[in-house]
Chain A
C-alpha cells in the first residue's frame, strides 16, 4: 500500500491527566521486506501525507527503515515464504523473507502532543523523500508502553 492509517485510534495511558508511561513504542507486525527498501515516515496523526513536515508539532514520531530485497534473484519458489515448519523436527531458521517485526520508539512525540488518543499514519518514501509507491505491507500495529 502507499499509505497506512490505523482504523481506530490508540488511547494514551494517562494518570491524573498526565502521560502514565516512561517509554512508548509502536510495534509493527508482519512487515514485508521482499520489495524495494524504503523509509516509512510515522505520524501520530490521521491526516498526514507526503508533504507533511517531519516535525514533532505535526506528529512526526520517527521512521521505519525497511532494508528490502528489491526483487527475487532466484527460480520460481525461491522467494515464497513457507507457511511453517514442514514437520515437528524442522529446526531450520525462518525463510529469509519471513515478515519482520519493527519497533519504533515514539516516547518524546507522544509526550509532546499531549493527547488522550491518536491515530498512526505511515507514509512510505524513498531515502530522498520521494513517494516510494506500493511497498508498505504489514499486518498490524500495536502501542506498547512501559512504566
Chain B
C-alpha cells in the first residue's frame, strides 16, 4: 500500500472507479453487499475451531480482483500493512481528494439504497479512526504467525488483528453489515490474506484440515480446497519491492 508506484495506484483507482460506477451485478455495490447487507454470506468464526473465515475471504478477494481486472487489466489489490500505518493512521491513498483534484474512488462509496430502506442505513461510507498507534504492531503480527495450529492461528488472526482493525477504523468499517462498502475494507482483508499466506509458507501447511476442503464457500462458487494456494489463483505476495528508472 505504501510502496505502490504512481502507475499501479492510477490503475487501481481507475479500476475501482469503473466498478463503483457499474449498477448491475458486476458492480462494486453487488460485491460489497455479499459480505453484509443484504447478502450476509461472509464467514466469521462463531466457534473456537471454525476454519472458514480465511478461505471465504480469500475467495471473496479473488472474485473482486477479477471484477477489477475485467474493467482495467493489471489492477491488483494492495495490502494495508497495519504496522506501517502506526505513524499515519489511514493510508493517504484512501484519503478524500483535496480541492481541485479528481474524486478519489478509494476514499469512500455512495451506499446503494435498499428496497426496504432500513432505518439508519447510511448514504455514504464513513470512518472515525482511533489514534494511529493503536493499530497492531509488528510484534503482535509476528506472535500470531508463530502459532503452529491453524485453528488457533486463524482465530487469533481474526479476533486480535482483523477485528481490532475494523473497530479501530470506525464508521462504516466497524459494522459487519456495511464494512465491505468502504474501499479500504479490501486492502485490510488483503493484509489478512497475506498473513495467512506467510503462515502457510512458515509452517509448510495449507491450514484448513482435509475434511474441510470440499466445503462450498457461500456466494463465491468455490470450495475451501480451491483457495488453499494463492499460486493456483494466480497471485502471490511480494517480499519486497524496488524500482529503478530506465533511460531512453
Interface residues of A (CB under 8 A from B): 27, 33, 36-39, 62-75, 93-94, 96, 98-105, 127-128
Query: Of A39, A63, A93, which contacts B218 at CB under 8 A?
Result: A93
CA distance A16 to B102 in the complex (A): 68
Partner of A69, one of B160, B162, B170, B176: B176
Asked if A73 and B118 sit within 8 Å, CB to CB, the answer is: yes
Bound CA–CA A100/B177 (angstroms): 17
Contact A38 B167 (CB under 8 A): yes
B116 touches A75 (CB 8 A): yes
Cα of A69 to Cα of B37 in the assembled complex, Å: 10
B87: CB under 8 A from chain A?
A: no
Cα distance, A61 to B43, chains bound together (Å) = 28
Pairs A-B, 3 closest by C-beta atoms: A70-B175, A65-B163, A127-B130
Whether B45 is near chain A, meaning CB under 8 Å from some CB there, is yes
Residues of A within 8 A of B43 (CB): 93
- Complex Cα distance A67/B44, Å? 10
Question: With A65-B164, A99-B46, A127-B170 given, can you name 6 additional A-B contacts, CB distance below 8 Å?
Answer: A69-B176, A72-B118, A73-B120, A74-B118, A93-B218, A128-B130
- The one of A67, A75, A101 that contacts B167, using a Cβ cutoff of 8 Å: A67
**Could you tell me the distance between the alpha carbons of A36 and B171 in the complex, rounded to whole angstroms?**
11
> How long is the Cα–Cα vector from A39 to B174 in the complex, in angstroms?
11
Given known pairs A103-B48, A103-B159, A127-B134, the reply for A70 and B218 (CB within 8 Å) is: no
Q: Taking the complex as formed, is B131 at the interface, i.e. its CB lies under 8 A from any CB of chain A?
A: yes
Q: Give the distance in Å from the alpha carbon of A100 to the alpha carbon of B158 in the complex.
A: 12
Q: Which residues from chain B contact A100 at a C-beta distance below 8 Å?
A: 44-47
Residue of A nearest to B169 (CB): A127
B174 touches A101 (CB 8 A): no
Interface contact A127-B168, CB-CB below 8 Å:
yes
**Chain B residues within CB distance 8 Å of chain A:** 36-38, 40, 43-48, 114, 116, 118-121, 129-131, 134, 152, 155-156, 159-160, 162-164, 166-168, 170, 174-178, 218
A56 to B156, CA, bound (A): 20
A-B contact pairs, 29 of them (CB 8 A): A37-B163, A39-B164, A66-B163, A67-B163, A67-B167, A67-B174, A70-B175, A70-B176, A70-B178, A71-B177, A72-B118, A73-B36, A73-B37, A73-B120, A73-B177, A74-B37, A94-B46, A96-B40, A96-B176, A99-B46, A100-B46, A101-B45, A103-B156, A103-B159, A104-B159, A104-B160, A127-B130, A127-B167, A128-B131
Name the B residues within 8 Å of A62 (CB-CB).
Answer: 160
Shortest CB distance A133–B (Å): 14
Cα distance A70–B90 in the bound complex, in angstroms: 22
Q: Which residues of A contact B44 (CB under 8 A)?
A: 67, 100
Task: Please measure, in the bound complex, the distance between the C-alpha atom of A102 and the C-alpha atom of B170, giving whole angstroms.
Answer: 21
Contact residues in B for A39 (Cβ distance below 8 Å)? 164, 167
Q: Given A67-B167, A75-B116, A127-B168, A37 and B174 touching (CB < 8 A)? A: yes
In the assembled complex, the Cα of A72 lies from the Cα of B155 at a distance in Å of 25
CB distance from A136 to the nearest CB of B (A): 14
Residues of A contacting B134 with CB < 8 Å? 127
CA gap between A96 and B129 in the complex, in Å: 26
Bound complex: CA of A76 vs CA of B129, how far in Å?
A: 32
The smallest C-beta distance from A79 to any residue of chain B, in angstroms, reads 10
